[in-house]
Amino acid sequence: MYIERNLLKIRKLAGIREDDNYRFRVFLKGKDGEKIDKIVHRLHKEVSAQIDCTSCANCCYCLTPKVSKADIDILARLENISPEEFQDAYCETDFGSTYLEGTPCRYIDGKKCGIYENRPEQCKTYPNTGKPDFVARSLGMIGNYEVCPIVFNIMEMLKEELWFRSRY
């Protein structure tokens, strides 16, 4: 099984395949969600075993993770400030959710997370391909297709396995 890791190639292919990915999402809506989850979880294990996230860190350069109150408390302690000060200085709120502000992430050092053991929960679970309800979350997967090599490879392998007919 070939695994694509080249971020420039992934970004280029994401642009080319954007319409197909939205068609694939509609295609998935007509499938058995539990069956899709079993396939995706198997692919997640296979692909993530071959990609070292700590040597990529593209998500840290492109995304702003959602943070919970517990995450803010931990990060504030690391910064030696109050949670309120942390939230005012380093977070933004959008539609009732709180996110770390700006990209790249303030804690990234090259391709390593400077607070790896204390990173926000959303960072720990990203790219969320091991979670249930893949079909219901497929719009988010399309958004992460160009960001994360794990998502890119799982989506491409899933298309192949389900005999999805691409237009590219």
Q: What is the pLDDT of residues 90-106, one digit of tens each?
A: 999 999 999 999 999 99
Query: How far apart are alpha carbons 97 and 25 in whole angstroms?
Result: 25
* pLDDT of amino acid 166: 76
- Within a domain: 86: yes
Instruction: Record the tokens describing residue 106, joined without a space.
Output: 């303030």
| Ranges under pLDDT 50 in the chain | none
* pLDDT of amino acid 145: 98
Same-domain status, 55 and 133:
yes
Same-domain status, 14 and 38:
yes
* pLDDT of amino acid 21: 97
- Within a domain: 166: no
What domain range includes position 152?
7-22+33-59+128-161
- Within a domain: 167: no
Instruction: Record the tokens describing residue 164, joined without a space.
Output: 């999805």
Query: How far apart are alpha carbons 45 and 48 in whole angstroms?
Result: 5
Same-domain status, 41 and 93:
no
- Asked if 123 and 111 count as a contact pair (C-beta separation under 8 A), the reply is no
* pLDDT of amino acid 168: 63
Same-domain status, 12 and 52:
yes
Same-domain status, 71 and 121:
yes
Structural domain count of the chain: 2
Residue 33: alpha-carbon gap to chain centroid: 20
Provide the sign of the torsion angle of the four alpha carbons 47, 147, 166, 41, taken in this order.
positive
- Within a domain: 27: no
